[in-house]
Amino acid sequence: FLPHLVASLEQVQQTYIMVKPDGVQRGLEHYKDLKAKPFYPKLIDYITSGPVVCMAWEGVGVVLSARKLIGSTDPLQAEPGTIRGDLAVQTGRNVVHGSDSPENGKRETALWFKEGELCQWTPAQAPWLQE
Ligand code: UDP
Ligand code: MG
């Protein structure tokens, strides 16, 4: 499960999280790495089909933590308790996005948010969540 991320668990990272259109109601060239895939045209139709909710999360090892919460790409492979495992049925309607590497976390955050749009704050419970 994204084993390349385990080595980066000590780093403070950014990851880009998005509730996809189906997640909002029951665009952008964001998926450029998937341009050659056969499902790409349908993916672009899907991702531009309605409003999305964008988030940028920051924290130690957050790329992998977020992917764990989201679950596998195919909702039928995603564990119960994950967002996709609990709320989605098909890969083509899998409710949420999360970056797959620290590099893509930075790239996608910069693609969706302008300088100054991100609100940086530390919740009071932060020391109880991470050492
Ligand atoms: N996707 C699809 N069919 C496929 C594979 C992927 O429709 O066979 C869509 C799906 O919405 C997925 C997105 O393309 O979330 C991006 O694919 P990726 O392999 O990056 O999966 P993810 O990182 O979202 O788990
Ligand atoms: Mg991906």
Nearest atom of ligand 1 to the alpha carbon of 33: 20
Three-state DSSP at 9 gives: coil
Q: What is the pTM of this model?
A: 0.82
CA of 131 to the centre of ligand 2 (A): 28
**Per-residue confidence of the chain (131 residues) as pLDDT tens digits?**
677 788 777 888 888 887 777 766 654 477 878 989 999 999 989 988 988 888 999 999 999 999 999 999 999 999 999 999 999 999 999 999 999 999 999 999 998 888 899 988 888 888 888 88
Indicate if ligand 1 lies below 6 Å from the C-beta of 97. yes
| Nearest alpha carbon, ligand 1 atom 21 | 73
As a whole number of angstroms, the distance between CA 88 and CA 22 comes to 9
End-to-end CA distance of the chain: 24
> Could you tell me the domains of the chain?
9-116 (3.30.70.141)
Centroid of chain to Cα 19: 8
